[in-house]
Amino acid sequence: MEDIKDILPTIRMLQGAVELIDQTLLPGEYRVLRIETVDLLCEAIAKLRIRGAPALGVAGAYGLLLAVEEAWPQENGYYFDMEGVTVEKFPDVDVTAVREVLDAAGKQIVSTRPTAVNLSWAVGRMKDVYAQDFPGTNKMLERLHKEAIAIYEEDVEMCMAIGRHGAELLKDGDNVMTHCNTGGLATSGFGTALGVVFAAVGAGKKIHVYADETRPLLQGARLNAWECEQRGIPVSVLCDGAVASIMSRGMVSCVIVGADRIASNGDTANKIGTLNLAIVARHYGVPFYIAAPSSTIDRSIPDGDAIPIEERAEEEVKQFKGVTTVPTGARAVNPAFDVTTRDLIAGFITEEGVVQPPFLPE
C-alpha cells in the first residue's frame, strides 16, 4: 500500500488557495488549477472540475478556509497551508463576523451538488467547530484548519482501508467492471471502488478492469482508464450499452462501484447508469459491490426515496465537445444519479470491512 505522501494530489490547500486537478481536461491535458475565491471553487465543483463524493467533502472543508482568506486577504501572505496555519497577522475581527462569512460560504458550497452527502457532511463538521465558544478568532481559525486537514487525512486512511478490505474479495486473474470514476481523482488521492483494484494489484494479484464509458461525460472512459494506465493496470473501455453483452459471456468476475449517498437501509445513489449495471449483474449472477467510506452513509434518511437527485443541463446530453448531436427541437433528460436498491447489492466495502445494512444512527 502507498504511503499517504505518495498518492495522487487530487486537492490541496496550499499557500492560501485550493489547488486541484482539472478533471474536465483529462486525459488529454493534466492541469492543476489554483483557486483563490469561493465563487471559483463553486464553479469548479458545479462544472465537475473536481468531483467524487469524498473529494467534494475535502473541497467543502477547504472552501471554508478559502472564505477566510478571501474575506481578510493579506498582502504577500496567507493564513492556511497543508503544513500549518499562521494567524498572528489576522485582523482584530469579532468571532461573530467570521462565523457570518463561514455560514454564507458553507451554504453556497453545499448548494452546488445536492446529491453527494460528503459535501454537506464536511461543511457541517466544520460548522460544528466554529459554532463552539472560543476566547478569540485566532484559536477558532487554528481549530478550523486542524479539522479541515483531519477530514483530508481521514479520507486517505479510510480509502486505503477500503482498498485492503475489498482486495480480499478479488482473486488473481479477476476481471472487475467499474462505473464512473472511483480512483484517486474522486477522493483525496487513493480511491474507493478503483482503490480496491489498486490494493489488490499492490498485493500481487493480476486484475483486469472493464471501465464503461459512463455517459454523458465519460468519467469512466476518460478518468478510470487514465488512472489505470498511470498505474500499469490492464483496462478495457466499453460503451455503456455493452455491459450486458460482456456479462452474458461470463467475462466479468464482479462489479464494484462507488456511492454519492447511502440511505440507512442500504439504498444507494451513484452516477446515472449504476442501476442498469446492478440489474444486469443480478440477472447474470455477478456480485455487485458498493465501495464507500462511512461518511457517505446518510443515517438520517430511511431509504432511497429520500435522496435528492441532481438534474444537470440538457446540453451535456445534446452536445459532444460543443457540437450538437441531436435535432435542435429535441429535449434531453439528464439526471446525474440513480438509486440502486439494497436488494441488488452484495455488500458494502467500507473502512470497517464488508458490511450490511441497516446503518443505524450513531
| HEC profile of 86-114 | CCCCCCCCCHHHHHHHHHHHHHHHHCCCC
Q: What was the pLDDT predicted at 2?
A: 52
Q: How far is CA 107 from CA 42, 65, 297, in A?
A: 11, 14, 21
> What pLDDT does residue 171 have?
98
The residue assigned the cell 475581527 is 93
At 273-304, the pLDDT tens digits run 999 999 999 999 999 999 999 999 999 999 99
Delimit the domains of the chain by residue range. Answer: 4-159, 165-355
pLDDT at 75: 86
Instruction: Work out the average pLDDT over 255-273.
Output: 98
Report, at the CATH architecture level, how domain 4-159 is classified: Up-down Bundle (1.20)
For 55-85, the pLDDT digits (tens) are 999 999 999 999 999 999 998 899 999 999 9
For residue 216, whether the previous peptide bond is cis, meaning omega lies within 30 degrees of 0, is yes
* Residues making up the chain, counted from first to last: 362
CB neighbour class for 354 (10 Å; exposed up to 12, middle 13-18, buried from 19): middle
Question: Which of 260, 267, 298, 338 is the catalytic position?
Answer: 260
Q: List pLDDT tens digits, range 132-184.
A: 999 889 999 999 999 999 999 999 999 999 999 999 999 999 999 999 999 99
Q: What mean pLDDT value characterizes the chain?
A: 95
Average pLDDT over residues 107-132: 95
3 is catalytic: no
323 within 8 A of 135, measured Cβ to Cβ = no
Cα separation, 234 vs 209, whole angstroms: 6
Q: Using CA atoms, how far apart are residues 124 and 350, in angstroms rounded to an integer? A: 21
pTM: 0.93
CATH, domain 165-355, list 3.40.190.10, 3.40.50.10470, 2.60.120.10, 3.90.700.10: 3.40.50.10470
**Residues near 322 by beta carbon (within 8 Å), at least 6 away in sequence:** none
